[in-house]
Amino acid sequence: MPQKAVLYTAEEILEEYGDMVLRTAYAMVKNRADAEDVLQDVFLSLVRTKPAFESAEHQKAWLLRVTMNRCKSFLRSAWQQRTQGLDEAFPDASFTPAENGVALAMAQLPLKYRQVLYLYYVEGYAAGEIGQLLKRPQGTVLSQMARGRKMLKEILEGDRADASR
């Protein structure tokens, strides 16, 4: 697979990775408007800090790491703790009914499980890479993936049992 070139301008990086950052933020904060705020914060951070990237993979990992950190900060904020957002469907998503069910079930998982499952299944990272991104031991990531899968299975099986009644 050919290696991607490191992008240098914020516009190029936004064009290449903006959708990935938005999808990642949405998976974590579960709200389109909040995900867009996180996207904006991530790219403001990029413009302000002007990090030097060794490779395109380093660039992508930096963006994912900053996105995860911004989402965690957002979810810990006093405002977020005292308010309850409106549930909404992701307007640009074209999910099949089965995919939509999985996305809704994923949204019910605690953040630490959503993060590792999202990075593994959607972004295609290995457990060791996820550990580096999230600054967790690989064993912890593997445990969280196993627990997250188990919880996801229970949620999905519960939905299937409810539908058959």
- Total domain count for the chain? 2
Residue with tokens 């963006």: 63
**121 DSSP assignment:** I
Is the domain of 129 the same as that of 55?
no
User: Treating both helix axes as pointing N-terminal to C-terminal, what angle do 32-49 and 10-29 enclose, rounded to 10 degrees?
Assistant: 140
Give the number of other CB atoms < 10 A from CB of residue 11.
11
Give the number of other CB atoms < 10 A from CB of residue 35.
23
Residue with tokens 């290696």: 3
Is the domain of 59 the same as that of 112?
no
Is the domain of 78 the same as that of 107?
no
Establish if 90 belongs to a structural domain.
no
Q: State the CATH number of the domain containing residue 150.
A: 1.10.10.10
Establish if 51 belongs to a structural domain.
yes
Is the domain of 74 the same as that of 13?
yes
pLDDT tens for residues 94-119? 456 666 677 778 888 898 898 899 88
Is the domain of 101 the same as that of 39?
no
Q: What does pTM read for this prediction?
A: 0.63
d(C-alpha 122, C-alpha 130), whole Å: 12
Q: Is 162 left (phi over 0), alpha (psi -120 to 50) or beta?
A: alpha
pLDDT tens for residues 40-78? 999 999 989 888 888 889 999 999 999 999 998 888 876
Is the domain of 67 the same as that of 143?
no
Q: State the CATH number of the domain containing residue 15.
A: 1.10.1740
Query: Whole domain around residue 115: which residue ranges?
Result: 95-165
Q: Position 70: which residue type?
A: R
User: Which pair of tokens denotes residue 111?
Assistant: 């953040």
Is the domain of 135 the same as that of 99?
yes
Q: Where a domain ends, among 39, 61, 84?
A: 84
| pLDDT at position 80 | 55
Residue 28 near residue 71 (C-beta atoms within 8 A): yes
pLDDT tens for residues 134-154? 889 999 999 999 999 999 889
